[in-house]
Structure 1
Amino acid sequence: MQLESNNEESFRFLSEHFVIFENAKDFVRFDENKGWRMLLFCLDGRFQIEVNGTPYTIEPNDIAFCTPDKIAAHTMMSPDFKGYLACCSANFSKRIFPNSADLWNKVFYMNRNFKIHLSDKEAAELLEDYHFLKRKIVHIDHLYYDEVMRCLLQAFLYQTAHVLSNHIAAETAPAEEPLQSRHQICQAFIDLLSSTKPVPRSVQWYADRLCKTPRYLSTAVKRASGKTASEWIHEALTREVADALKNSAKSIKEISDELEFPNLSFFGRYCRQRLGCSPSEFRQQKNKG
């Protein structure tokens, strides 16, 4: 564990499964295998980011939530940017949160909307909780430090969910189906999807590992998130393809083989269907941009 707090602007907290940055220049690409959940809160200035190919501008009182199924790139910030970035791994999230359907409602809302704008009162309330957490997080000589920090982080993230609740319409579930169950299944599916590379394309593959039938899995995922398991899979695969074509120096044939497409012709058809052009055309467009 590393802890740096030489001044307010450079404060950072780094542990294996939880990090806080206040200097946006510390924004880095984390180990994807940990399934990081990232929460960015802007206090001043602007933070620009491209998520799954869509540009966003985060401004004061905006809060953004990025889950492992999103590819974040092209981050830029204004010289006067102030804010904080808090990230936790998938394992950490599972450990500190019970299987709360209400909490996952808020997570899926943020997953669909990426960012929301808080009122001045909501922003002040969230910032107060954050500063309390920051004051406590530096006392690493506490006899029960790990236990205290787990409770404080849990409380902080629940308080964040409480602030978000004002922006989230209540969801109701069919009486015959427990709400908690479908959110548990959906979250387990998304965790599996985000941590497996290359992306397996068969719903059966995920269903087998989650001990469900493909039909049951897809229905649960659809009711919890608004998208079927197949839609989630193809969105994740499309991002993986686009990311490889954009950022890898490998040949198109090598990328096709690495992502386990049956042949180069099938890979080309998939790109034209999902990206709107051939692999070489997509790569040329991105290089020009």
Structure 2
Amino acid sequence: MAEGTQTQNRQLYDDSALFHITDDYRETTSDEYHDFQLFVYCSGGYAKIKIADREYFISDHTGLFVMNNNVLTWLEVSPDFTMKAIFIHGIYLTVDEPDIMSYNFRMSALIESPVVKMTDRDLAFFLETIECIRERLPIHDHMFYRPVLHNLVHIMMYDFYDIHSRQNQAGNSIVYSGRQSMRYFHDFITMLENGSYKSEREVRWYADKLGITAKYLSEISLDTSGHTASFWINKFTMAEITRLLRNPTLSIKSVGEIMKFKTRSYFSHYVKEHLGLTPMKYRAQTIGKKD
């Protein structure tokens, strides 16, 4: 490859718009970041917040995960409150999320218990990873720009899940609410985690399994997580599709068949609608292979 072409390829990606890092809590509810997932790390002071219809108290060495900032409200903030927050766009996570899903990516558990208590080491790890992401974002000429950022995001999420798991084992997690609607949502996410999305992508199918209407399931999902049931079905589906497309031993036709799409044209349309690229273009960009 000619040096000029290689330089041009290295400058192709700039994902800085898919991240936002701030230490101002007021920015965490901005409409500008509606499609972003939010991680907040409190390093001093305290705050009372509301996520959907539940209130939480966060203080020094507290971590917080919010799937959609539309459901977040700051009720009270102490004068000495300090925090660091990072927004990560949902599309960015969807592209490389399968690795996390394969290690029990329990979205429903985080929605039920979004607040974790962090040790000095936990907080240091998170702040260090966020700083690494900040420093890496403007290095557009790095040959492995996206893989490096993806790995940093994965490190941060693995650390968060490690804390969440430790607290659950110790019995320190927030008590399960017991609301019937939350149980429905939990069972819905569990069906997706078990792979139902590989063949069933209609909200009605999941609603029928739960014994409720499709409209009610979408309302429950929106109230609980800030996203509709269709969003979650498509999120799990696209995560699996992108994982399969990165496997060079599978043809695009085979990927569509594995995911039970009736025709290749419908499969291609679905991927382009949700990813912005056809399966062929996505594969060419990620592994340089064309069918």
Using the size of structure 1 for normalisation, the TM-score is 0.52
Contact kept? 1:64, 1:110, Cα under 8 Å: no
What pairs up with 1:208-287 in 2 under 5 angstroms?
Answer: 209=202, 212=205, 214-216=207-209, 218=210, 232-236=217-221
SS in 1 for 2:105: helix
Aligned to 2:23: 22
Long gaps (5+) in structure 2: 1-14, 171-188, 226-291
CA distance change for structure 1 residues 239 and 180 in 2, over 3 Å: closer, same or farther?
closer
Give deviations 1:169-206, integer Å, cap 9, x for gaps. 49xxxxxxxx98641668x7xxxxxxxxxxxxxxxxxx
Matches within 5 A, 1:38-49: 38-49=38-49
Return the offset for 1:37: 1.8
Query: Does structure 1 retain, via aligned residues, the 8 Å contact 2:50–2:72?
Result: yes
**1:133·1:152 contact (CA, 8 Å) conserved in 2?**
yes
Give CA deviations for 1:62-108 in whole Å, capped at 9, x if unaligned: 11111239612245433322221122232222112116253422x32
> Which moves more between the two structures, 62-71 or 134-143?
134-143
Q: Could you tell me which residue of structure 2 aligns to residue 204 of structure 1?
A: none
Distance change >3 Å, CA 22–CA 108, structure 1 → 2: same
Structure 1 SS opposite 2:31: coil
CA distance in 2, matches of 1:92, 1:75: 30
Could you tell me which residue of structure 2 aligns to residue 71 of structure 1? Answer: 71
SS at match of 2:17: coil
Structure 2 counterpart of 1:215, one-letter code: D
Residue identity matched to 1:90: G
TM-score by length of 2: 0.51
The 5-angstrom pairing of residues 47-62 of structure 1 reads: 47-62=47-62
Q: Distance between the aligned counterparts of 2:98 and 2:28, measured in 1?
A: 29
Q: Structure 1 pair 55/213, CA: closer, same or farther in 2 (3 Å)?
A: closer
Alignment: residue pair count: 191
Pair 1:142–1:79, CA change in 2 (3 A): farther
Q: Decide whether the 8 Å contact of 2:33 with 2:69 is kept in 1.
A: no
Q: Distance in 2 between matches of 1:97 and 1:74?
A: 29
Displacement of 1:41 in angstroms is 0.8
C-alpha change, 1:58 and 1:157, in structure 2 (3 Å) is same
In 2, the alpha carbon distance for the partners of 1:16 and 1:68 equals 17
The residue type paired with residue 235 of structure 1 is I
In structure 1, list runs of 5 or more residues that go unmatched: 1-13, 171-178, 189-206, 220-226, 241-289
2:262 match: none
Q: Is the 8 A contact 1:133 1:156 kept in 2?
A: no
- Other-structure match for 1:102: 103
The CA RMSD measured in Å over matched residues stands at: 4.0
Question: 1:111-190 counterparts in 2 under 5 A?
Answer: 111-169=111-169, 182-183=192-193
Shift of the alpha carbon at 1:232?
A: 4.9
